[in-house]
Amino acid sequence: MAAAWDGFKGRLWKEEVNVRDFIQNNYTPYDGDEKFLVGPTDATNKLFDKLQELQKAEHNKKSVGKDGKERIGVLDMDTSIVTGLTAHKPGYIDENLKDLEKVVGLQTDKPLKRAFMPFGGIKMAEQSCEQYGYTPDPELHKIFTVYHKTHSDAVFDVYTPEIRKVRSSHILTGLPDTYGRGRIVGDYRRVALYGIDALIKFKEADKAAIGDGTMTEEVIRLKEEVSEQIKALKGMKEMAALYGFDISKPATNAKEAVQWLYFGYLAAIKTQNGAAMSIGRVSTFLDVYIERDLKAGVITESEAQELIDHLVMKARMVRFARIEAYNNLFSGDPIWATLEVGGLGQDGRSMVTKNDYRFLHTLENMGPSPEPNMTVLYSKRLPENFRRYCAHISIETSSIQYENDDVMRPVWGDDYSICCCVSATQTGKEMQFFGARANLAKALLYAINGGRDEADGLTPGVQVGPEYAPITADVLDASNYKEVERKYVAMLEWLADIYVNSLNAIHYMHDKYYYEAAELALEDTDLKRTFATGIAGFSHVVDSLSAIKYAKVKVIRGDVEVKNKKTGEVVEVVKNLAKGFEVEGDFPRYGQDDDRADDIAVWLLKTFMGMIKKHPTYRNAEPTTSILTITSNVVYGKATGALPDGRKAHEPFSPGANPSYGAETKGLVKSLNSVAKLPYHYALDGISNTQTINPSALGHDKTEQVDNLVNVLDGYFDIGPDSGHTGAHHLNVNVFGVEKLKDCQAHPEKPEYANFTVRVSGYAVRFINLTKEQQDDVIARTCHAAL
């Protein structure tokens, strides 16, 4: 290790796996400006041109599915190779340009070719091929049905009829029962710092230390898991060897550090297609290697930037085979390769390094891009130069998001990564049992309708929830608000129960059939596990309750025919279900900085989180919740009838914790204030807020715009005693006008729109890659014309 670690300070990290300690002992904070940055190298330009060609070919490639339907967006797929660490021969962006690639490694043997990943679910893997006109090898079907059971099949084996019903009605949606749960960030830096051989030794010592000899199920399971991790580590070495690298020993320079780290990540994306495949907090870490090489004169700034550009290029190339239904939920091929810059150390020092600039600068060197999902861990204590540079990049590219380091650091320390779009996780020390979302707006309708799915639901009139007494009043107002609240609470209790238990089944089976050995090999053996539930329809519940409490809501009732799903035959007619609502009078809304509404918001969050906490969780995972929906707000809305806040049936929900469309009548700052009142510690999985600001609202010129955006961010994320904020957690910043969106929708072929990136909710997409429906939704969102 001596040579590889030459010049590095500290002791703890040498004696145990402790990347944080290495970083804290060795990083060089940078508070200068961006002037040191350099443009792309020739190699970068050539490779990126090639990648652009490939992406264009992919975007335009038309495939005809087995169902006869034409689909676009898939360049190539595997049909006979089961993905694995060493399943493919080495692949390059371009065989003829491979010497230019400073960071090598593809998921398959060809760029943008999608691997066959059956372990999560064979049906899904097959469908994802067939919908794009590919035919998977029938032998694989036999292997993954007769010989090896897949995660999805196992989950459905244990689902109760009740769980199947809540899935069908979509009061629970997006459950990771047909895809990988993801949201695990391997500490890929470990590969660079320690090399695989040392990591194997540490894991072997860990394995030997599990339990006192009594073979409880917990002990047996963990021992087997660590065995699988050790096999995965050995597999990583073989994988790297295919590309001509020996990663058994630590990286000795910056180039190797980037390459080793990427091999760690590559192992993850070769073996798992998770809900999110974050890269993690790698910037400051890599800066240590680059600084050493710069000081030693063995690397130039241009070479340093090239390494980062090439690493980022690889992150832009990650693809998974996906079915249409998934694409409808999350358009634009997102993989949430989330990567952080910024943040402060626990000792108060800024962790911003030159490398944080380099990562952001990739958005200039190679233009805007949704991936990697670039995230600034924000604090007003970050160097002003850096905050201004971030604002500049936001204004130019709308490709970055901000998260409040000041609320996360006390919980997760100073070495957390974002494991999905916005959710924090301690790097290398934690995994998440991802749980998608419960539709709390639908639950309000269930409370009103005694557990029956509403007329405009996906399973109209069906008794999905418990048959509690419905609310029979024709007018809902202050006089019966308590009844509404009481019945809603009862229905939420039921929902929290079935939600947690569905997730318990899912994660038990995920561990059993689709264990993330490669990712968890790069995490501590003694893991913390969080149990990440989520809320959808948040703003609509708050506004609906506010409407009832402060105005008058007339209930429009009607009969609903319950039909047999297969035959279409009417099996029951349900009388007097609430089918719509008419609001009379004004009421305070969430997003107006009005405590009357915002108090309901806080109450809702606390109430639901409290219910989740009551239930036993698989492996005693720590329950958390989130208010984030990514783009699924559209699909959730589609499955939900009209609401008492005036939202019509099937209309999209507002995304994440955003106020409802049309509610933000008092300007951006008031809107931000409402969201910032939600206590972060009740929603540790994240509170996502997406805002679009018209450039002109920010200022007349670039400097003014930067000034103002920094002010907005400083203000929003301030949780000081005078701020009134308890938890401002996340902000997506788009800087463009609605006209640009409309023009892009009308003329997607214009070259300037090829990479036009829009932050939607916790992630970004190329606007042209969204479905028409989702584009409409983005256009409908509030674009603040004034602060």
Q: Where along the sequence are the contacts to a copy of itself (CB under 8 A)?
A: 82, 84, 143-144, 146-148, 154, 157-158, 160-162, 208, 213-217, 220-221, 223-224, 227-228, 497-498, 500-502, 504-505, 508-509, 512, 615-616, 618
Q: Which amino acid is at 112?
A: L
Which residue, 13 or 144, is less far from a copy of itself as judged by CB?
144
**Both tokens assigned to 281:** 């907090």
Concatenating the DSSP letter of every residue in 18-81 gives -HHHHHHHH-----S-GGG-----HHHHHHHHHHHHHHHHHHH-EEE-TTS-EEE---EEEEEE
**Minimum Å distance from CB 307 to a copy of itself?**
34
**Both tokens assigned to 555:** 């209930």
**What does R_g of the chain's alpha carbons equal in angstroms?**
26
Catalytic residue among 129, 390, 419, 421: 421
**Minimum Å distance from CB 512 to a copy of itself?**
7
**Minimum Å distance from CB 115 to a copy of itself?**
15
Rounded to whole angstroms, the Cα distance separating 542 from 529 reads 30
**Both tokens assigned to 156:** 């459905």
**Minimum Å distance from CB 468 to a copy of itself?**
16
Q: Which amino acid is at 299?
A: I
Rounded to whole angstroms, the Cα distance separating 624 from 609 reads 7
Which residue, 271 or 331, is less far from a copy of itself as judged by CB?
271
**Minimum Å distance from CB 150 to a copy of itself?**
10
Which residue, 202 or 508, is less far from a copy of itself as judged by CB?
508
In sequence order, the β-bridge partners of residue 690 are 732
**Minimum Å distance from CB 205 to a copy of itself?**
12
Which residue, 226 or 574, is less far from a copy of itself as judged by CB?
226
Query: Which residue, among 119, 20, 352, 85, has the nearest Cα to 242 in the 3D structure?
Result: 85
| Cβ–Cβ under 8 Å, residues 436 and 326 | no
Concatenating the DSSP letter of every residue in 527-545 gives -EEEEE--EESHHHHHHHH
Which residue, 62 or 512, is less far from a copy of itself as judged by CB?
512
| Cβ–Cβ under 8 Å, residues 372 and 317 | no
DSSP 8-state code for residue 652: P
Cα torsion angle, 482, 488, 494, 498, sign: negative
Rounded to whole angstroms, the Cα distance separating 700 from 698 reads 7
Which residue, 80 or 696, is less far from a copy of itself as judged by CB?
80
* DSSP 3-state of 438: strand
Rounded to whole angstroms, the Cα distance separating 276 from 279 reads 10
**Minimum Å distance from CB 158 to a copy of itself?**
4
Rounded to whole angstroms, the Cα distance separating 480 from 486 reads 10
In sequence order, the β-bridge partners of residue 339 are 280, 374
Catalytic residue among 129, 390, 420, 744: 420
Which residue, 40 or 176, is less far from a copy of itself as judged by CB?
176
**Minimum Å distance from CB 53 to a copy of itself?**
35
Place of tokens 């970055």: 400
Which residue, 486 or 614, is less far from a copy of itself as judged by CB?
614
**Minimum Å distance from CB 136 to a copy of itself?**
14
Rounded to whole angstroms, the Cα distance separating 537 from 440 reads 6
Cα torsion angle, 96, 258, 115, 374, sign: negative
Q: Which amino acid is at 489?
A: V
Rounded to whole angstroms, the Cα distance separating 637 from 649 reads 8
Cα torsion angle, 665, 670, 672, 676, sign: negative
- Concerning whether 744 is annotated as a catalytic residue, the answer is no
Rounded to whole angstroms, the Cα distance separating 172 from 495 reads 8
**Minimum Å distance from CB 221 to a copy of itself?**
8
Which residue, 226 or 741, is less far from a copy of itself as judged by CB?
226
**Minimum Å distance from CB 232 to a copy of itself?**
13
Helices (H), 514-594: 517-520, 538-550
Which residue, 82 or 760, is less far from a copy of itself as judged by CB?
82
Rounded to whole angstroms, the Cα distance separating 164 from 49 reads 47
Residue 692 has φ and ψ, to the nearest 5°, of -120, 130
Q: Which residues contact 431 (CB under 8 A, 6 or more apart)?
A: 183, 184, 425, 516, 519, 520, 523, 527, 528, 529, 530
Which residue, 218 or 559, is less far from a copy of itself as judged by CB?
218
Residues serving a catalytic function are 420-421
